[in-house]
Chains A and B, each alone.
Chain A
Amino acid sequence: MKTYRILMLGSSGAGKTVFLASLFKHLMIQGESRFFVEVEDERKRKSLNDIYAKVVAPEGWPPATQYREFSEWTFTCCVKVGISIYPACRFTYLDYAGGRITDVVEGQDVDQLGEEVEKADALLGLLDGQKIDALLNQGDPMLIKILLDKDLPSMLRLMQTSKAPIQFVISKWDLLESKHTLGQIRDRLMQIPEFRKIVESRNTIVRLIPISSVGSNFATQRNGKMLKTPGALPHPTHVEVPLACVFPDGWLTRINQLQAAGSKLKTQPIQGSSSKFIKYGQIGGFILKLTGYILPPDAGEFQVAGFIAQNIVAALTRNAAQKNAQATAKLRQEREATLKAVKSEETALNHAVNCFLVIQDEFVDLFPDSELVVPTQSIDTQVEIPAS
């Protein structure tokens, strides 16, 4: 099964395992998302439920160190059609957390970490929403100092050595959303030279994703204390977005890499496509010119059916500022169509990618500022496949 590796970076206490627990909580039963995730390892699965129960428990937050024994969490995306269940792909989250990342930075396990950075299909940097709040409000100087002098530098140092897409995930959005817009947070982060440099040096998209493990209205902050709203049920918010963006962003990165390597590729039109060039759009600093072809075999884990490639391009190149309700509706329709067509791992993956695109598309509609874009030079990207 195709497996995608995500390297999670973030200080101890930033809420990496809480994020994963919320992700599992949100996607463990197939509903509106039209797919679900399974954690096959029984102890890890129960731990995630345990962690989430502790997050929302009357007495508060799970201890940061409690689940450090696990450094790898694998989520299998599955699709249920009628009574049949088909696995589609896997996402493995590697937690280079807390003490571990400090050790690494100090020189231990460098080779191993270097290997992980090299292999990663995405890098996820988890930023503590409370520290971001302090940064924007000029709050607790200690929190700001930790964010600027410790959390971010160790994260950015590793990111600069990787070519994988980057996701900056901001936790505790429920505390921030009434105080700051994502645009304000983006602008403030871009004032940090190292941060800006990372964003500018990428040749693929960098995302800023606000998440909340409990959602709005679950609790309110009064006099520095969190008060739960009686009877409110927690609803994790946007926690599925980072996972959903791994495939489309990784796919685009793969195209760029293939082009940069000067791959000589034969062509084969997509069935039913009358036009050679199906999409010509802009994403990030790039002009993406994509022919209607599926990726070549050496696209490896990102090999995907031609009609799905069209959808990825359509979703990624849509200018977020020009909301296109029709395109979103079409994507949802296609998702329903691919759901009915699921009968194997391959068709399940096609469907899962459509599911990811719907999540990504709706999220970008809601947060146009989530795509960190620095206008740079345009690069033509043309993807073709061998006629095998």
Chain B
Amino acid sequence: MRTYKVIMLGPSGAGKTVFLASMHKKLSIQGEEGFFIEVQDPVRRQVLENIYAEVATGDKWPMHTDPSDQSKSGHEWTFRCCVRIEDRSIYPACQFTYLDYAGGKLTDVNVAGEDLVSEAKTADAVLGLLDGRKIYSFMNNNDDEFRNLFLHKDIPSIARIMQYCEAPVHFVISKWDLLEGKYTLGQIRDRLLEILEFKNLISQLTGSTVRLIPVSSVGANFATLLPNGKMQKHSGAIPRPFYVEVPLACVLPDALVKRVKDLKQREKEIADMVVKVKPRFGGFLTVIDELLTNTVVKFLKDNLPGNYQFSPDVLNWAEQKIQKAQEQINQRESEAAKITQEQIMQRDKLFKEIKNEETALNYLMNQFLTLTSSLDTDFPASKF
């Protein structure tokens, strides 16, 4: 089965493991997302369930992951994406391996890190998890330790590794419930771009979409920040994870577009072929037989690595995405909304076609695109 590697970079306390636990919670039963994820190792699954239970119940929050407790396999989490169709048959489509390093390894002088740069170089996507609590201090201009660590340890350490990445990188803002209503994502994005290392990094990452994704493991109205800096849970409140599924949904579409783009840049011959393709935004959604013979798609079929071999529709979508990138910048919001509508219309059709891993993956890609489009619509500032 196709497996995609996602590296998570984030300092201690940013909430990397809690984020994975809440993603697992939200996606473990097939719902409106149209797919579900499972952790096949029962021990690992239990760990995530326990962490989430700790988040959702009681007065306390889970402890930070201790770097010394983290075994070699302890930081690897494999999520299998599956689709359950009407006759209750289940089709696995692909899986994602998340590498979650204890935050101390990234920034702590006294904790030996692993070769995160080498790991990041081979990833399909790299997520930088930014601690929403620290961003809160940063946005408030609080001259405190949160702001200081965020500016001078977290951002430099994450940006340094991302500088070496070939894969798409995204920034996930944790604890969005703390920021929501106080700051817009656009305001946060603008402030982040005032940080030298961040600004320099973004100016380098022109080869792929860089996203800023707000997530909350508990959602709004679950906890309140007290004057002493602690988060107090509301009695009886039920957590409603917010957007925790979106970072996963962005991995594959963005990585595919990046691969196609890199390939095109490397191969001059493809540049000439591109002009022969009729611009057809959203072409992925309608199967057109002649595309099978289209030279661009054939070229991509011949040259993309196995993990990135998709149906001609999907490859054509990626190709069109690149061509339309500039127009999208201008019409991001309206266009994104339109795509979402089209994708929802396609959902039933692709769902009915599921009969094996390949068709399940085809359907899953559509669902991923729907989710990423929702992000674009709800948060136009989420793209750099």
Contacts and interface: CB of A to CB of B under 8 A. Distances in A.
B41 interface: no
A29 B112 contact: no
By DSSP majority rule, is chain A's interface helix, strand, loop, or mixed? mixed
B108 interface: yes
A80 B148 contact: no
A26 B196 contact: yes
Contacts, number: 78
Nearest to A38: B160
A158 interface: no
A293 B151 CA distance: 47
A230 B143 CA distance: 7
A28 B156 contact: yes
Nearest to B151: A233
B200 A31 contact: yes
B152 A49 contact: yes
B322 to A, nearest CB: 16
A149 interface: no
Contacts of A104: none
Given A49-B152, A57-B148, A30 B143 contact: no
Nearest to B112: A42
B157 interface: yes
B262 A83 contact: yes
Given A26-B196, A31-B196, A228 B156 contact: no
A84 to B, nearest CB: 9
A25 B109 CA distance: 16
A85 B160 CA distance: 13
A300 interface: no
A56 B107 CA distance: 17
A52 interface: yes
Nearest to B150: A53
A43 B109 contact: yes
B203 A52 contact: no
A118 interface: no
Contact of B148 (A28, A38, A56, A82): A56
Given A26-B196, A46-B109, A57-B148, A80 B163 contact: yes
Given A57-B145, A228-B143, A230-B143, A31 B109 contact: no
Interface in B133-167: 141, 143-145, 148-149, 151-153, 156-157, 159-160, 163-164, 166
A232 B107 CA distance: 23
Contacts of B201: 29
Given A30-B204, A85-B163, 16 more contacts: A25-B152, A28-B159, A29-B160, A29-B197, A31-B200, A31-B203, A32-B200, A43-B109, A46-B108, A46-B109, A53-B152, A53-B153, A56-B152, A83-B207, A83-B262, A228-B143
15 contacts: A25-B197, A28-B156, A29-B159, A29-B160, A30-B163, A30-B204, A31-B203, A36-B163, A49-B152, A49-B157, A53-B153, A56-B151, A83-B262, A228-B143, A233-B196
Interface of B: 107-109, 112-113, 141, 143-145, 148-149, 151-153, 156-157, 159-160, 163-164, 166, 194-197, 199-201, 203-204, 207, 262, 265
